[in-house]
A and B are shown apart, each in its own frame.
Chain A
Amino acid sequence: MLTRNRTVFTQLGTDAIEKGLADPQLSAFYDSMMSSSGLVSEKLREHMPYLSLCSDKITPLAPPPIFYVGRRASQRILFGEEWAMQHDEELRTPDPELEQASAEAYRYALEEQPYYGYARTRLNLGGKVVDIAFERLIVALRPTPTSERRFCAYFGVIQDLQQL
């Protein structure tokens, strides 16, 4: 059972990145994607290890399913190797409340513009309760200019992680 007492999901807006307030690696990813107009290019290569990628299939209750978790991605650090390597079912974060709270950010990234925000929440990870604070950037990308497909790239930075 998930318990939490301090849950915050706040959109800061990409202005905060442009003002230099975001994590430097996250900022570098943002700059790179903006300079390629949201299209996949060679510039994406250096950021791949830090990204989680998911589709564009969104519902009001859940973000899109994940299909790729980079080797140094924050979700792999948080949820573990075993979670990241499973592929028998759709890959989703293991906390339904976190899923629901995250959905709006993906909708914004897909329908409006890149989403940058801060979150603090308490999670129960397999019986281990943690308090986590993280910043996250979600950008909708297209593999080629003519592609009908879009996907979301998630760059998360864990700022604080306390086991309770």
Chain B
Amino acid sequence: MQMSPYFSSADYIHEHVQPEDKSLADLKREVDKHNLSEMWDMILTLDYEVNNVRELSRETREEFCGIVSLLLKAFSK
């Protein structure tokens, strides 16, 4: 792909990356709002053995987001 000379390739955000990051950020915001951050950390460190969700592969991150989605439903209703 021909990049513009006015911005570096590092600034380029692929159209499919941005929505995923936004969805992750939205989930984390909801988790914090419902006081579930400790549960997020527990699953991440004990099951996935990472400290930051961005260390997960895309596929594994989707699986983790599915669990978090259930976590929110299980505690917030």
Taking the complex as formed, is A111 at the interface, i.e. its CB lies under 8 A from any CB of chain B?
Answer: no
A90 to B39, CA, bound (A): 17
Residue from B46, B69, B70 within 8 A of A48 (CB atoms): B46
**A residues near B, CB below 8 A?**
40, 42, 44-45, 48, 54-57, 64-68, 70, 85, 87, 89-91, 143-144, 147-149, 151
Please name the residue on chain A nearest to B63 by beta carbon: A85
Max count, chain B CB within 10 A of own CB: residue among A40, A48, A54, A68 = A68
Other CB < 8 Å A-B pairs besides A64-B74, A87-B70, A148-B35, 12 of them? A44-B42, A45-B49, A55-B75, A57-B77, A66-B70, A68-B70, A85-B63, A87-B73, A90-B73, A91-B74, A147-B38, A149-B39
Decide if A149 touches B66 in the complex (CB within 8 Å): no
**B residues near A, CB below 8 A?**
35-36, 38-39, 41-43, 46-47, 49, 63, 66-67, 69-71, 73-75, 77
A147 to B75, CA, bound (A): 14
Decide if B70 touches A144 in the complex (CB within 8 Å): no
Please name the residue on chain A nearest to B46 by beta carbon: A45
